[in-house]
Amino acid sequence: MLTDMDRTRLYRNGVLEAEGFPIDDVSDHVGDRSAVVWFDLCSPTSDDLAKISEELGLHELAVEDALHSCQRPKLDSYDSHLFITLYGAKLVKSRLELIELSVFVTKNALVTVRESSEFDIDGVLRRWDAKAEMAAYGVPYLLHGLLDHVVDGYFDVLQAMDDRIEELEDDLFDEAPGDRVHIQRQTYEMRKKLVRFRRLAVPMREIVGSLLRRSVEVLDPALTPYYQDIYDHTLRAAEWTDSLRELVGNVREAHINQQGFRLNDIMKKITSWAAIIAVPTMITGFYGQNVPYPGFSHPVGFWTSTVAIFLVSFVLYVVFKKRNWL
């Protein structure tokens, strides 16, 4: 039976002929070489996958990987089909969400198994329908649309992260004083996101590269430039991820250096004020002796000490201020 979360499509001779039919009817079409079938399963059970496994001759190890989450992005080749594990990515309220997707690729069938409904499968359908005439290339074109949608989603995530890093740089060099602990916390969180993201961006490059190397047996020559375009995008995504990691590291290092500079400024101010305060302490200590000294027991001694305190303190203040120590 077809659930609200499951989708099906039938292409015949490159033309969309039917969609939304029960998955149980797939067996009526997979034997027809002129037909291309796509069906999508959202959070399927082992029984659901067992049915399609029998129809399409899927390898038990691939079916097992599709049922167990947290697989590494990869491409496995079996006698009758390819099995691909990849991840969609999006930022939700500054939180990186990864949605696992398993894909079975046969000569005339494409099966997508979504971990959850959070993956935008409607976006994939819109991409297919935008160039409906390309459906004549069969399963390789449908797979191209799926991969292209996933990789484009990576750029949306990277652009959002890039914008956030620029905001952190602006906050870092903002002249307005304030608590900047949030910079250290957010750079740490951003670095964790980028490390997670890199774990799926780099293997995605290998997946598309493997498909290109198999282009003779898997792809129509007319589709090779399209897959090459996706491969270039995966390279750019991986390089962008690395550059953002470096930027985050630079922001964090600059923040630590700024803390050191501020500590030096504080120490200079404390030392300068301590030197100024030491002057009246020294003079009053000298005039507080219980032995005779110039001006002892006369008002001139008091005025002499007072003038000396203010004069020397003022001279020290001017000197320290001129050196930006105060």
Residue 180 reports pLDDT greater than 70: no
On whether residue 243 sits in a domain, the answer given is yes
On whether residue 154 sits in a domain, the answer given is yes
- The residue assigned the tokens 């999508």 is 40
Domain's final residue, options 239, 259, 279: 259
Domain count, the chain: 2
Residue 305 reports pLDDT greater than 80: no
* Whole-structure pTM value: 0.76
* Contact in structure between 113 and 41 (CB atoms under 8 Å): yes
Residue 4 reports pLDDT greater than 50: no
On whether residue 242 sits in a domain, the answer given is yes
Interval 117-141 mean pLDDT:
91
Residue 127 sits in a domain whose CATH number is: 3.30.460.20
5: confidence class by pLDDT, cuts 50, 70, 90: low
Co-location of 290 and 187 in the same domain: no
Weakest mean pLDDT among 22-26, 115-119, 255-259: 255-259
Co-location of 69 and 114 in the same domain: yes
- The residue assigned the tokens 């034997």 is 31
- pLDDT tens-place string over residues 18-37: 888 887 777 777 777 788 99
Residue 173 reports pLDDT greater than 80: no
Co-location of 173 and 295 in the same domain: no
Domain's final residue, options 259, 279, 306: 259
Helix pair angle (224-287, 139-172), 10° resolution:
10
On whether residue 235 sits in a domain, the answer given is yes
* Better-scored residue on pLDDT, 245 or 181: 245
**CA–CA distance from 38 to each of 77, 150, 267 (Å)?**
19, 17, 69
* Better-scored residue on pLDDT, 276 or 237: 237
On whether residue 102 sits in a domain, the answer given is yes
Co-location of 164 and 298 in the same domain: no
Share above pLDDT 90 across residues of the chain, in percent, rounded to a whole number: 26
Weakest mean pLDDT among 7-16, 57-66, 110-119, 292-301: 292-301
- pLDDT tens-place string over residues 50-83: 878 877 888 899 989 988 888 889 999 888 889 9
Interval 155-182 mean pLDDT:
78
Q: What residue numbers bound the domain in which 249 lies?
A: 7-259
Co-location of 303 and 160 in the same domain: no
On whether residue 1 sits in a domain, the answer given is no
Interval 180-207 mean pLDDT:
85
Weakest mean pLDDT among 140-154, 209-223, 242-256: 209-223
Residue of 83, 87, 53 lying closest to 70 (CA atoms): 87
- Using CA atoms, how far apart are residues 29 and 256, in angstroms rounded to an integer? 63
Co-location of 247 and 292 in the same domain: no
On whether residue 318 sits in a domain, the answer given is yes
* Contact in structure between 111 and 39 (CB atoms under 8 Å): yes
Co-location of 88 and 142 in the same domain: yes
Q: What is the CA radius of gyration of the chain?
A: 35
Task: Give residues with Cβ within 8 angstroms of 242, minimum separation 6.
Answer: 198
Co-location of 234 and 302 in the same domain: no
Co-location of 240 and 137 in the same domain: yes
43 phi-psi bin (left φ>0, alpha ψ -120 to 50, beta other): left
- Using CA atoms, how far apart are residues 229 and 152, in angstroms rounded to an integer? 12
On whether residue 169 sits in a domain, the answer given is yes
Co-location of 86 and 171 in the same domain: yes
- pLDDT tens-place string over residues 262-298: 777 778 788 888 887 787 777 777 666 555 666 666 7
pLDDT score for 217:
63
Co-location of 291 and 142 in the same domain: no
If you average pLDDT over every residue of the chain, what do you get? 83
Domain's final residue, options 259, 282, 308: 259
pLDDT score for 144:
93
Co-location of 157 and 296 in the same domain: no
